[in-house]
Amino acid sequence: MTSKKLVNSVAGCADDALAGLVACNPNLQLLQGHRVALRSDLDSLKGRVALLSGGGSGHEPAHAGFIGKGMLTGVVAGAVFTSPAVGSILAAIRAVAQAGTVGTLLIVKNYTGDRLNFGLAREQAQTEGIPVEMVVIGDDSAFTVLKKAGRRGLCGTVLIHKVAGALAEAGVGLEEITKQVNMVAKAIGTLGVSLSSCSVPGSKPTFELSADEVELGLGIHGEAGVRRIKMATADEIVKLMLDHMTDTTNASHVPVQPGSSVVMMVNNLGGLSFLELGIIADAAVRSLEGRGVKIARALVGTFMSALEMPGISLTLLLVDEPLLKLIDAETTAVAWPNVAAVSITGRKRNRVAPAEPQEALDSTAVGGSASKRMALVLERVCSTLLGLEEQLNALDRAAGDGDCGTTHSRAARAIREWLKEGPPPASPAQLLSKLSVLLLEKMGGSSGALYGLFLTAAAQPLKVKTSLPAWSAAMDAGLEAMQKYGKAAPGDRTMLDSLWAAGQELQAWKSPGADLLQVLTKAVKSAEAAAEATKNMEAGAGRASYISSARLEQPDPGAVAAAAILRAILEVLQS
């Protein structure tokens, strides 16, 4: 079965993609009759060297995203993963020559088709009297023993675009640019890893991986890598990649060692989430700095992809100050990131958080039977929520992300850790305030915010009195805060339904002579009934409100969790 793609046609997808980029970027133009994009200000390049690159489509934003002042003059694109036509390459060379440039440098990734087609176009252009040079970039660090074909051209090519572009913008001549670029190319290494393959439009995935496998050392055309490794943590995979890239017994290694200064690129191969990309970047920074390597600049993003491949490549370029100035030079290329000209290593990355305001302690704040009873209640609530984790997640999957149980378990573990630090405050107001801060910080999600709001508001009436009427007022205050900011109302199929039902029963505490346990028992039963009733409600708030009511055949997980918390409190008080 072929993969799904948002295209108009398989045959026209490369043309459409390039046309879309040009349509949205006034600084670019298409060369009529060819799959070529050029700077729209070609005439301003008179007397300077032009830079052309390209290759198969499917590597976006490479290469057309790097057209602009200070980078490429133009790009020649082939079909997906296919070298561009010789005629189009030659047409691009002629176009920049006619604009008055003094020579053209072709920057080519080391693949047979690209070398042949760009090379043929260069030979033809030279017969026409156009000065053309060509550099072939091979930065792949995957192969421990080099074959005749040499190292493949990967994401390090983008750094070559930047260096060559800065030199050309400064007015450096063709011969000198070619010489410097060839020297820089020897100081680059790239290694890729992926969780699965990609698929060319109209085709099946290019290779298969089992659930516990990762492909190491793969290229950018969906081809398999040098070996398969077992799935591991991000830290472990990054360490393995850097070990492989810098191993001096590896014939394609990059000579990075303690004391080296590098530009690091963390490149998304197309389908990795930004969450994972950040985790990989953090792991790479820590691993490199742990080896004594100075990271002069860090570029993180999508620079050279392989369609939707869920993987990354790491690129290291050895740099000195003159080379860094070329990396930092201004460019208008839309895909080049806005990187600060400041070293990553040695920068202070943390700011001290403001101190919490000191709260006046109640004379009964810590210790005693009340504090012990509070601890028992909290422990029972925690064990209840941890036991419900899978059930709550299963209920939550009907409405989307399926993490309600995980969120509540995170809160339970945070409370347990807090209890290990010492006995909880015996003062109800201080206890609720402390729990509010804890849940807001540790629980996360909308549940954490709602519980935090509820507890913060509920603590206020208890600062003056802790009688049963005060506890009823605390429940009222908490419910009011939840409705004010959460925008939910009773009947909207949320956690509020359980709490609201309990709150109505707790109004009885305001009557003289009310019995604590009798009223609380009725409140818990009402909360449980309300939670069960949510299965017949149409969601009016929260994520579930975006889901068809026909799919919500189970009770709301938040309502179930709230009722379970109340049940846990009752059971401890009864015992």
CB 130 within 8 Å of CB 104: yes
Element (H, E) at 311: strand 311-318
The tokens of 525 are what?
Answer: 């039963």
Structure tokens of 197?
Answer: 């393959």
d(CA 370, CA 364): 9
C-alpha span between 30 and 40 (Å, rounded)? 9
End-to-end CA, the chain: 61
Give the residue numbers of the binding site for substrate: 56-59, 109, 114
Q: What secondary structure letter does DSSP report for 469?
A: H
Q: Which of 34, 161, 221, 244 is catalytic?
A: 221
- Measure the CA angle with vertex 243, ends 246 and 63; round to 5°: 65
Give the contacts of 346 (CB within 8 A, at least 6 positions apart). Answer: 294
Q: In what order do the strands lie in the sheet with 311-318?
A: 227-230, 213-216, 188-194, 311-318, 261-268, 294-301
Look at residue 60 and give its three-state secondary structure. Answer: coil
Is residue 161 part of the annotated active site? The answer reads: no
Tokens coding 365: 């704040």
Residue type at 173 in one-letter notation: G
In the chain, the amino acid numbered 541 is A
Query: Where is the binding site, in residues?
Result: 56-59, 109, 114
Long-range contacts from 469-476, C-beta under 8 angstroms, 24+ separation:
469/509, 469/510, 471/428, 471/506, 471/509, 472/506, 472/507, 472/508, 472/509, 472/510, 473/510, 474/428, 474/432, 475/499, 475/502, 475/503, 475/506, 476/503
Q: Which residue stretches of 321-427 are H helix? A: 321-328, 368-387, 389-397, 404-420
Q: Tokens representing 532?
A: 């069960």
| Three-state secondary structure of 485-501 | HHCCCCCCCCHHHHHHH
Q: How far apart are CA 280 and CA 345, in angstroms?
A: 17
The catalytic residues are 221
